[in-house]
Amino acid sequence: MGDYILLPKQQEAQPEVLLFTLAEFRQRRDIIESFESGVLALDYESNGYDWKKDDFSIRTVGLANEDFCISIDLLGAEEASLTAFKKWLVKRPYVAHNVSFEAGATLAWAGSIGIPVADTYILFADLATEYRRPWNLDTAMADLLGLDKEGDLVKDHMKANKWTWSDVDKFDFAILGQYNAIDAYGHWKLYKYFQRIIASYNDSWGEYYWDYHQQDCLSAVTLEVETREGGIHIDTNELEVSYLSLSEKRDTVLADFLGLETVAPHIESYNAACLAELTAAKPEEFTKTGKPAARYIKWKDKIEAARGVQHFNTNSTHQLRWLFFDMMNLPIGEYTAKGEPSTSKEVLKLLGVPGKLLLEYRDYVTKLKFVTQIRDGLVGDRIHPTVRVFATISTRSGGAKLG
């Protein structure tokens, strides 16, 4: 990916990785005391990204600080040991590259988000101002730290066994644990690296930035996690009213567009051509033994269904070009990068009533999609937005106006 302008590349040495079962880890007082002495880096390997799912589970826990880089295998651990480990872990201040996930997973697994003190994803995106560069952990470890993330070993392991992350309990711990521990070490080294960068700034700006990161950014992250857990109440009656109203308005505007005197004849000819194409593909009515042919029966049903179907697709750029520019001879406002006539929003504004109606139709489609996402995502009278990384949520509560 190359060096970042504001964040010079480091040459970190690969750490010594220690792998433990939970029982083995609990015997290592030296390591436990080291992690109890201050902030640690935390990374989970789990059977999926959505910690809200009933079957969500954590296979390994990666921990790192200046002294140790470890992964703990939870597979087969005794319940009492797991309970004690969870109570210990949620009392530890931690950093992660995506606190949205680690905090949510900790909440789902241990009943608390723990004590997050830094999100290295946000720090990376904030402090490296290069435009549209990726801020993911792979990039951070390779481009900033000079570390090998060792993700290829896990990918090869999965490919060889035809596994996905849902099969994480089947993974070889020697491979998964190495990957997990290195990720945690990457979180730790990024955290220390960004601390040094911020400390180098003049006056009290560094102190101000850390306060902003922890009081503003991390508060927003934990709020997203808590929103995902507790859900957002939805007035289901109003939601249904919005859904029905938008559906009716969408259908009415589409009918108005297709029924325009300048549009309707071309739509009719398009539908007729589609039906003729299907009709021309008529198979033999009988088999060689004189029995009704299954292909013919299927074709006949298809023809009957096609008679009542609108074949013209208003979402198809290719078909809209045919309608507007080939058949209606409307002016071409601009061209795409490939030299094709554009049907963009700006162009549609120039196409008179047809363009106006199509824009209105698209607006209702967008609003209806938003309402439908909420409607389909309801659990009782609540939605539980999916948190990915800071400030990105799907099935979100903001966005399109409902109505």
Cβ-count burial 363-396 (b if 16+ within 10 Å, e if not): bbbebbebbeebbebeeeeebbbbbebbeebebb
**What is the average per-residue pLDDT within 155-160?**
94
Q: Give percent above pLDDT 70 in the chain.
A: 92
Q: Give residue 402's pLDDT.
A: 34
Band of pLDDT at residue 10, cut at 50, 70 and 90: confident
The residue among 212, 231, 250 that closes a domain is 231
Q: Give percent above pLDDT 90 in the chain.
A: 63
Q: How far apart are CA 189 and CA 184, in angstroms?
A: 9
Give the DSSP letter string of 91-116. Answer: TSEEEES-HHHHHHHHHHHHSS--EE
Same domain (yes/no): 169, 196: yes
Q: Which element (helix H / strand E) includes 393? A: strand 393-394
- Provide the token pair at 63: 């921990």
Question: CATH number of the domain that 240 lies in?
Answer: 1.20.1060
Same domain (yes/no): 242, 199: no
Position 401 in a domain: no
Question: For all residues of the chain together, what is the average pLDDT?
Answer: 89
Asked if residues 105 and 52 have their Cβ atoms less than 8 Å apart, the reply is: no
Beta bridge partners of 60: 45, 73
- Dihedral sign, Cα of residue 312, residue 317, residue 320, residue 322: negative
Same domain (yes/no): 314, 222: no
Residue 398 has pLDDT above 60, yes or no: no
Asked if residues 283 and 295 have their Cβ atoms less than 8 Å apart, the reply is: yes
Same domain (yes/no): 77, 185: yes
Backbone φ, ψ for residue 163 (5° rounding)? -105, 160
Specify the residue for token string 């905090």.
103
Amino acid at 362: R
Residue 397 has pLDDT above 70, yes or no: no
pLDDT in tens, 11-30: 778 889 999 999 999 999 99
Same domain (yes/no): 293, 197: no
Residue 401 has pLDDT above 60, yes or no: no
- Beta strands at 115-119 and 93-96: parallel, antiparallel or unpaired: parallel
Band of pLDDT at residue 131, cut at 50, 70 and 90: low
Same domain (yes/no): 222, 285: no
Q: How far apart are CA 19 and CA 32, in angstroms?
A: 14
pLDDT in tens, 211-244: 899 888 899 889 889 988 998 999 999 999 999 9
Name the DSSP class of 16: P
Report the domain count for the chain: 2
Among 182, 178, 127, which Cα is nearest to 157's?
A: 178
Same domain (yes/no): 133, 32: yes
- Lowest mean pLDDT segment, chosen from 121-135, 206-220, 275-289: 121-135
Q: Give residue 395's pLDDT.
A: 33
Higher pLDDT among residues 131 and 153, named by residue: 153
Q: How far apart are CA 56 and CA 166, in angstroms?
A: 9
Q: Give residue 148's pLDDT.
A: 75
Same domain (yes/no): 221, 268: no
Q: Give residue 399's pLDDT.
A: 35
Q: How far apart are CA 356 and CA 257, in angstroms?
A: 9
Q: How far apart are CA 218 and CA 13, in angstroms?
A: 30
Residue 368 has pLDDT above 60, yes or no: yes
Same domain (yes/no): 48, 82: yes
Position 213 in a domain: yes
pLDDT in tens, 311-330: 999 999 999 999 999 999 99
Taking CA atoms, 152 is separated from 63, 104, 155, 176, in Å, by: 21, 26, 5, 11
**What is the average per-residue pLDDT within 56-80?**
97
Band of pLDDT at residue 403, cut at 50, 70 and 90: very low
Question: CATH number of the domain that 50 lies in?
Answer: 3.30.420.10
Q: Give residue 314's pLDDT.
A: 93
Band of pLDDT at residue 187, cut at 50, 70 and 90: very high
Asked if residues 77 and 25 have their Cβ atoms less than 8 Å apart, the reply is: no
pLDDT in tens, 136-147: 888 888 878 887
For residue 346, what are the domain limits? 236-377
Neighbours of 307 (CB within 10 A): 9
Q: Give residue 132's pLDDT.
A: 62
